[in-house]
Chain A
Amino acid sequence: MAECTPLSQITNTTSSTGRGGRSWTQRQHTPYTRTPRSRRLTGQGKTVPLARTPQAPRTLSRIKELVNKTWRLYKVTPLYKFDVGSLRKYSRLLSAHLDAEYRKGIAVGVESEVADSARFSLFKGLKGASGDSDAIEITVKAKPKSGQGESKVVLSAILCSVQLPDDAFLFPESFTFLPVMMVKGGVGLTKQIVSWLEHQFDCHITHMSFSPYDLSWMVAMWGGCVPETNSKPVEMMYTVPKEVEGLSRITMTIDAKVCKELWDSIRDPTNNRFTEEEEAAFIKSLESHFFYHFKVKLTAMYLNRVVTSIAVVDSSGRIKFYSDDHVHRVLRHITEVAVEQIQQK
């Protein structure tokens, strides 16, 4: 669709800023990126809002709809020529595409519903900073095959970017960068929508998966966030390597209150960023507590799933938010990880 691949356009125009002083070109020649030494924990904090400035009304934000649902995460490369004004046109095009797929017989036959209409809309409340693009929501509704009854939402996808890190890509105006896509819906339908988006906007959408290292960062950063109501114990689930027959997983669940004590004792409260040393201290202290009691080396197992009071994340990219106050914080981190994973390619 595009004349030249957008990705090459991006690489040519980036400045040579990189994390820790490495230039972009240097990063291109090595297969690995350096793991970050510290990550943002709380908000940007650069501009402190004055007492008089009115806060954006919370009622407009639809963040509550994100909570308590399991979403699958995808990472999205920048979209070429995505115009926020032509959302209606995109809705029409996507509906036509889904209809055509169904008629071709490619659509998953077992579904009892026929995907009827797709709608693009703005999802308010997810923008983290002025540099972010507006979040877009795609809802696909379907009527039941019997023809009767109301059409209900079959799939819901949200493309968003929450506080892109400063040193991310700099790209020309024709690109919109919404690196995170959260999808809740059937697999077949998701595939169709992904292929349409890739075709229409010349981007690349892939599953987001988290390595055990990513998950350990998440549990270390959010293990200390305990909301007053509905606090859940912090849980880490490890899968055991296949050579060990008979044992498949080890789960360690820590009471929320004592986890917060541990987190506070490690943390340097003056620093806004969460450092690598703090993350290592958190994880290693828990693993050594485990080792003292069981003489089993948890460091050799794969961290597969992490549960905290504010979210549960697993290595295949499924996420569920528990607290609407902290959705921003979680999505900010997910955006950062998504940008890193895209840059690695």
Chain B
Amino acid sequence: MMEREIFRKILGRLRKDELRPVLQEWGHLGKRLHEIDFSHSKHSVHSYVVKGFMKNYPNGHPDAVGKLDLLCLQKHSAKRTWAVYHLKKEQDSPPNDVADPKEFEQRLRRELGVDFKKMELCVLQHEKALWVRICISKGSKTKPMLKNATYCVHFPHTPVLIVTNMKAATAESIKQAFVNVLGYCDIQDIRLTGRCVKSLAQLSLNKYSQGSFSQYRLNQVDLQPLSHGKKRKRTESEESITDPRIVFVNQKEKKQRLEILNDTFGPNPQPTLEKIEYKLETKFHGNHYAPGMRNQTGPFHCRVKFEGTSVIEGIKNLGKTELAVVPLPDHLAKVHSLAKNHFVLQDKSKANKSVQDSQT
């Protein structure tokens, strides 16, 4: 039976220690959950789960698959790449935000039901955000396929929507549905992608309090510095070498560099981004080594990609280890406050000014 296969596939994505809490939250097993012995092999535990579900709901349950899939995704959201969309509204239009998952689901079902006759929809609340799973079947008779499910995360009362696995065929309808349900007038892709939903939310929601301003947001700044006396400063030296004959000549430059880096990036851990891409359309600037290129007027098209586990942290470390010259240029150092990771660098000229104005 198709349902069994689908259940097995979804359960297979979970680790052994995650099975019990997820199944508890799922709730469709009821009392049978306590009958399952989780010390057996994964394969047999999955069989027990499927059997238990079939006994509870011999005719199946429409939302069971969707809810289980969404719960699994919440545990393993880093396996997918997410893209951030920004909802735009006209000025002075009344807010139509919704914070209740049930109401959100009702509204979405009404909107999407206009275009699609057969779909699975599931909305859950998880850590102050509404997680939505939309699975649309192509024909009216075929069942929705697991791999076609689109997942969205919406933070109530904010114009931010984080989406993954949106298929081209249904993208426009889904985007329009969200715009209508939440009372906005347009939706825009702000070119911010990544794997960590929390970081993406941080970058888009806290755009103006990143870097050194994050100290204020996280209450790390002492608001009354004069109310207590100064503590005796203990000079920290990173070098643990205590031989007095060794003299570090560049301590001053090092300290200056670290100060500048701290000012730009702040002392708190940076939000994780996996990739930053730049499209360069400026004139060629290597003319010192290639004098023949001095007469070229056209742009030198090239693309640069920085990749890693946490690229913003990496760029800060590049400055720390002197592999980059500090102060770093703004488009590299201020990525935490720019809320995007695909950039286009162009020469400043009158022709480009109109392009830049239209993009902001």
Contacts and interface: CB of A to CB of B under 8 A. Distances in A.
B317 A243 contact: yes
B290 A255 contact: no
18 contacts: A244-B314, A245-B310, A247-B315, A252-B304, A253-B302, A254-B300, A258-B301, A264-B292, A265-B290, A265-B292, A284-B289, A288-B288, A289-B302, A294-B304, A294-B324, A296-B323, A296-B325, A301-B323
A339 B285 CA distance: 37
Contact of B313 (A245, A264, A301): A245
Contacts of A301: 323
A128 B314 CA distance: 47
A261 interface: yes
B345 interface: yes
How many A residues are at the interface, by size bracket? Answer: 35 or more
Nearest to B333: A295
A258 B302 contact: yes
A248 interface: yes
B146 interface: no
Contacts of B329: 293-295
Interface string B61-105: 000000000000000000000000000000000000000000000
Contact of A285 (B290, B312, B345): B290
Contact of A265 (B285, B293, B321): B293
Contacts of A282: 290
B328 interface: yes
A285 B314 contact: no
B303 interface: yes
B332 A247 contact: no
Q: Of A246, A253, A255, which is in contact with the most chain B CB atoms at under 10 Å from its CB?
A: A246
Given A246-B308, A284-B289, 17 more contacts: A240-B308, A240-B318, A243-B321, A247-B313, A247-B318, A248-B314, A249-B307, A249-B308, A252-B303, A252-B304, A254-B301, A255-B301, A258-B301, A281-B290, A289-B286, A295-B324, A296-B325
How many B residues are at the interface, by size bracket? Answer: 35 or more
Contact of B324 (A233, A245, A254, A296): A296
Contacts of B278: 293
Contacts of A261: 293, 296
A244 B303 contact: no
A246 B307 CA distance: 9
Interface string A228-265: 00000100000011011111111111110110011011
B309 interface: yes
Contacts of B310: 245-246
A248 B309 contact: yes
Interface string A270-305: 000000000011101111111011111100110000
